[in-house]
Amino acid sequence: MKKKLKNAKGLWPELLSEVLWAYLTTPKTSTEETPYSLVYETDTVILVEVGEPSLRYSNESRPSNDESRRQDINEAEERRDMAYIRMIAQKQQVESYYNKKAKIRPLKVGDYVLKAKTQASKDPQEGKLGTNWDGPYKIMAAVSKGSFHLETMEGKFLPNNRNVAHLKYFNF
């Protein structure tokens, strides 16, 4: 969609409706449903099928169409629930994949750690061979899950909390 709009340059207002229609009628991987069907409780009929009757469009008669719409409305809540269940299952799959690769760093109060240097705090005179870690520091308090108050070896508190992703365990 982005590629189509990029190639159109100044014509994007004319193509926007086509792009939005494509977005609304494409099934999403998390729910396996189209956003259109979840909102309007029915499948989409492509505009070409209205002008050039297809088998699907021409076989619908007024009474059977009304009956199928009532049935779609009755099944809409069930379809939304199933889409929600599929979405939650996909999120759990992504979470388990992430957690397999995540490094667990069990740091606790009283441990000594090294703090990663930021680009701004690195000395430009050292160049690329300079140190990447500051420290050691002592963990004084666990603020929240993975966030700590640090103290220098001289007993001076650091002003901001530090995330566990920027800390490395240090043993003497």
pLDDT per position as a tens digit, 13-49: 777 777 777 777 788 777 777 877 777 766 666 655 5
DSSP character string of 67-88: HHHHHHHHHHHHHHHHHHHHHH
| Integer Cα distance of 161 and 170 in angstroms | 18
Specify the pLDDT at position 150: 95
Predicted pLDDT of residue 39: 75
Q: How many other CB atoms sit within 10 Å of the CB of residue 115?
A: 19
What distance in Å separates the CA atoms of residue 127 and residue 95, rounded to the nearest whole number? 38
**Cα distance between residue 70 and residue 89, in whole Å:** 29
Residue with tokens 């430009």: 124
Structure confidence at residue 128 (pLDDT): 85
Which whole number is the average pLDDT over 141-158?
A: 90
Among candidate residues 137, 135, 148, 159, the one with its CA nearest the CA of residue 108: 148
Q: What is the pTM of this model?
A: 0.43
- CA 147, chain centre distance (Å): 22
Q: Is the pLDDT of residue 79 over 70?
A: yes
What share of the chain has pLDDT > 70, as a percent? 77
Please state the rounded mean pLDDT for residues 159-172: 89
Contact 136, 119 (CB under 8 A): no
Q: How far apart are CA 162 and CA 14, in angstroms?
A: 50
User: How confident is the model at residue 154, as a pLDDT?
Assistant: 94
